Amino acid sequence: MSTHGNSSPNQARVLVETLRPGIDRAAVAYPKPLVTVNCYLLTNGNAAVVVDTAAAPWETKDHVGVLLAHAGVRPQEVTAIVLTHCHRDHADGAAALQQLTGAPVVMHRAERFTLAEADERSRDSGALGAWMVSHGVPYDMAEDMAAAFRWTAPEAGIKRTLVEDGHEIQVGSSRWLAVHTPGHTPGHMCLYEPVGGVLVTGDHVLPNESSNISVRPDQPYDPLGAYLRALERVLALQPVLCLPGHGEPFADLSEVVGHQFQHHAARLDDVRATLSNGSRTGFEVAAGIPWVQRSKRLADLDDRHRFLAFGETLAHLECLEARGEIIRQGTDSVVWRRAA
């Protein structure tokens, strides 16, 4: 294990380590509460596959180069760059690495939704703000929340290889299977190696945090329902080592997933309670439930976190709608109420 750089939060800090033979990690320091964003290198014989390129706001080091050198892998030996999903903290740098290695950049087909959303966000179309207003967010607040969530589209020059659930990624003599786990993004995928029982979880399961599951305009319906089903699915694999997109590797998936089920069950109850008498907008529901380990109100959050909380609220509302418990009324001005 070796540490590069120093611990100042304003400077690059990268930890490179071998987790087990054939699995190396570069852990790049990342803003709290996530602590790190992880880039993994899978090797077997002369084959090498990079999973998530990983990027943090203040990171300046070539951590992928450091990771390859640590494992004794030359860039031309990289046979694939696999992205669990296309959020910039996982995917930035993939285009440059593709240029360096000539390797395909592999992602699930449904990440087109995530890329389309990033593209939309990078243009200041006003559509996001208008969508929030339709869910009851005051106009000025909606503008501030949309501005706080402006993205730039990642990696325009990338050549993508789109895959489906069950796709096999060969690393020498070992096989890693793409497991489609929608929810955090529509095309999120985990990678599973059945012989060693290793699961790369990306942002689907994080050891200390709940993944953000949000409704956004023009994205697939009921992301929370999809997410909860995908949690069941990875649980059934019974992995013995889990490699998350952020934070430390962990062994006990059932404990971590158990916390996620509890978290979402509690929030579904919170949402039900806000609809116990009469109809509410999505914004009113978000304002009526507690956030951040039940310590804060929506009004206490900054614009970015308020946007995430609002999107999560809609995900819980859509989940209850899909279960037939509540009803949505209106389109330009949406309210929710309990089903009769």
**Which chain residues interact with Zn ion by CB under 5 A?**
87, 89, 203, 245
Nearer to Zn ion, 141 or 228 (CB): 228
Closest separation between CB of residue 27 and Zn ion, Å?
Answer: 13
Closest separation between CB of residue 6 and Zn ion, Å?
Answer: 24
Residue type, 18: T
Nearer to Zn ion, 223 or 245 (CB): 245
Closest separation between CB of residue 278 and Zn ion, Å?
Answer: 35
- In the bound complex, which residue of the shown chain has the CB atom lying closest to Zn ion? 87
Closest separation between CB of residue 261 and Zn ion, Å?
Answer: 20
Which residues, 6 or more positions from 229, have their beta carbon under 8 angstroms from its beta carbon? none
Nearer to Zn ion, 203 or 321 (CB): 203
Closest separation between CB of residue 246 and Zn ion, Å?
Answer: 6
Rounded to 5°, the CA angle 51-204-238 comes to: 90
Sign, CA torsion 182/186/192/198 = negative
CA neighbor of 36 nearest in space, from 51, 15, 17: 15
Nearer to Zn ion, 33 or 330 (CB): 33
Nearer to Zn ion, 113 or 336 (CB): 113
